[in-house]
Structure 1
Amino acid sequence: MSGPVSRPARSLTVLGSCGAWPEAGRACAGFLLEYDGFSLVLDLGYAALPQLLRHRPHGEVDAVVVTHQHPDHCVDVSALARVRYYEAPDAAPIPLHCPPGVLDVLRALEPNPDPATVFDVHNLAETKELGPFAVETVVLPHYVTNLGVRLTAPGVSVAYTGDSGPSDELSKLAQGTDLVISDATLQGASPPTTPRYTMTATEAARGARGARRLLLTHFWPGSDRSVSVAEARKEFSGEVVAAEEGLTLPL
């Protein structure tokens, strides 16, 4: 069995890129953010844990952030709890920063061990610091409470929308960042329905203006991702990349 994959000291690795459910061979939302030895997971949806274990074989991460309680963003946090419970029973609980509804989902999945004993649970809306990162959050439009998050450390700034419809808050989240990780569930013309709870790639690009790079993610299963990239490039002057499992971006 091969060991952990080597990556730059400051990097963002895609663990999962699908929305709703994972295509064959892929996973749902998940990202590993690494900064000078500090490792932070952003969301961990269906099938994202095996991707994480390629890099952290015993689930040894310093913190987990979950944007909202939908299973394609949090269900594999329960699997991570099992890894830590059995592989490192004496280790300190991993800080978990999330909206309160996430803990309810995790307890419904597996009440024993209580996830609050494997994780040190914090309300993400009240989080201001996380390891080397200053943390800012904004409420973004989705079916449940979804918190966009901006993480800033010396020389690095990353914003992540979780799931979101179009919102003026997106530009505040993105402005001046090195990288925006954005919901780009849909393609083509914006749906006429209101309110909106997910975005087209075009809308994601508009919301990310002011950032240096845009990473499109949360693709609807079966989508041609090159179409999303092409649509986004018409509205965003910086680099546009489609999330792919295993992709690592230096920061």
Structure 2
Amino acid sequence: MTVPGSARTLTVLGSCGAWPEPGRACAGFLLEYDGFKVVLDLGYAALPALLTHCPEGEVDAVIVTHQHPDHCVDVSALARVRYYLAPDAAPIPLCCPPGVLDVLRALEPRPDPATVFDVRDLASTREIGPFRLETALLPHYVTNLGVRLSAPDLTVAYTGDSGPAPELGKLANGADMFISDATLQGASPPTTPRYVMTATEAARGAAGAKRLLLTHFWPGSDRAVSVAEARAVFDGEVLAAEEGLTITL
């Protein structure tokens, strides 16, 4: 439901890659645009944070970039919340690559996730609520689709996990907020192909965006170091994702 005049915000539900540090969670964001609520990824321990904002999991859509559990495992928990607390509610649109549904069914086949969610192929979905949805296939160990959500006066883009790639430039160009993988710090590893980025590479990929939000930090990383590295090459505002942080867009 769209409520004219409502806030446009991005809330960090989780910011860790691989596994959550104590008191933190893995990938997850809640994007609100004039009353429409869309979740971007929902990894380990991200659901409790979502429930502080949506106590019965009452979101309008979920987008999952890829099937790794640090990005999708708590979608299974959200399915339980909806199944038990809102059994008569319409299925929530779930836009994801095909492998995500396989993971969810392996975690909990009953109820079938496809009965709680309206499962849609992320690559072929063009609209979700008020947003025009574009995707970009980005380098990772499994199929990972970066997303770009555009509505009047707002564009938010998110990489999921990604190595450095030319596709990042198109994803970021003109975005009001670019949420980017920044797993690593320091010099770029010499290995190729690359499936995650340093903070410096994230900042280079974000060229053309107005603001950069670094996320997917390797557990134990000093986030101030990542921010400093990104600021050295990115002209706009650089933020570190922190659980509970809400950003006005």
1:117 aligned to which of 111, 115, 118 = 115
Question: Which residue does the alignment assign to 1:4?
Answer: none
Runs of 4+ in 1 over 3 A off after TM superposition: none
Whole-angstrom CA distance in 2 between matches of 1:111 and 1:98: 18
Instruction: State the Cα distance separating 1:118 from its structure 2 match.
Output: 0.3
Structure 1 alignment gaps of length 5 or more:
1-7
Q: Give, as a single letter, the amino acid of the residue that structure 2 aligns with 1:119.
A: F
Whole-angstrom CA distance in 2 between matches of 1:248 and 1:170: 24
TM (normalized to structure 1)? Answer: 0.97
Instruction: State the Cα distance separating 1:99 from its structure 2 match.
Output: 0.1
1:162 aligned to which of 157, 160, 163 = 160
TM (normalized to structure 2)? Answer: 0.98
Question: Which residue does the alignment assign to 2:187?
Answer: 189
Instruction: State the Cα distance separating 1:74 from its structure 2 match.
Output: 0.1
Question: Which residue does the alignment assign to 2:3?
Answer: none
Cα deviation code 1:180-237 (max 9, x no counterpart): 0000000000000000000000000000010000000000000000000000001100
Cα deviation code 1:151-171 (max 9, x no counterpart): 000010000000000000000
2:63 is equivalent to residue 35 of structure 1 = no
Q: Give, as a single letter, the amino acid of the residue that structure 2 aligns with 1:29.
A: A
Whole-angstrom CA distance in 1 between matches of 2:175 and 2:66: 22
Whole-angstrom CA distance in 2 between matches of 1:218 and 1:58: 26
Q: Summarize the alignment of residues 34-183 of structure 1 with structure 2, pairs less than 5 Å apart.
A: 34-183=32-181
Question: Which residue does the alignment assign to 1:245?
Answer: 243
2:209 is equivalent to residue 215 of structure 1 = no
The size of the alignment, in residue pairs, is 244
Whole-angstrom CA distance in 2 between matches of 1:118 and 1:13: 24
Question: Which residue does the alignment assign to 1:233?
Answer: 231
Q: Give, as a single letter, the amino acid of the residue that structure 2 aligns with 1:238.
A: G
Instruction: State the Cα distance separating 1:177 from its structure 2 match.
Output: 0.6
Q: Give, as a single letter, the amino acid of the residue that structure 1 aligns with 2:110.
A: N
Whole-angstrom CA distance in 2 between matches of 1:9 and 1:61: 15
Identity %: 82
Q: Give, as a single letter, the amino acid of the residue that structure 1 aligns with 2:211.
A: R
Q: Give, as a single letter, the amino acid of the residue that structure 1 aligns with 2:133.
A: V
Whole-angstrom CA distance in 1 between matches of 2:207 and 2:9: 21
Q: Give, as a single letter, the amino acid of the residue that structure 2 aligns with 1:20.
A: A
Cα deviation code 1:58-101 (max 9, x no counterpart): 00000000000000000000000000000000000000000000
Cα deviation code 1:104-155 (max 9, x no counterpart): 0000000000000000000000010000000000000000000000000001
Structure 2 alignment gaps of length 5 or more:
1-5
Q: Give, as a single letter, the amino acid of the residue that structure 1 aligns with 2:138.
A: L
Q: Give, as a single letter, the amino acid of the residue that structure 2 aligns with 1:201.
A: A
Question: Which residue does the alignment assign to 1:19?
Answer: 17
Whole-angstrom CA distance in 2 between matches of 1:11 and 1:87: 26
Whole-angstrom CA distance in 1 between matches of 2:51 and 2:243: 13
Question: Which residue does the alignment assign to 2:204?
Answer: 206
Whole-angstrom CA distance in 1 between matches of 2:29 and 2:77: 16
Whole-angstrom CA distance in 2 between matches of 1:90 and 1:9: 28
Whole-angstrom CA distance in 1 between matches of 2:165 and 2:203: 12
Q: Give, as a single letter, the amino acid of the residue that structure 1 aligns with 2:53.
A: H
Whole-angstrom CA distance in 1 between matches of 2:227 and 2:191: 24
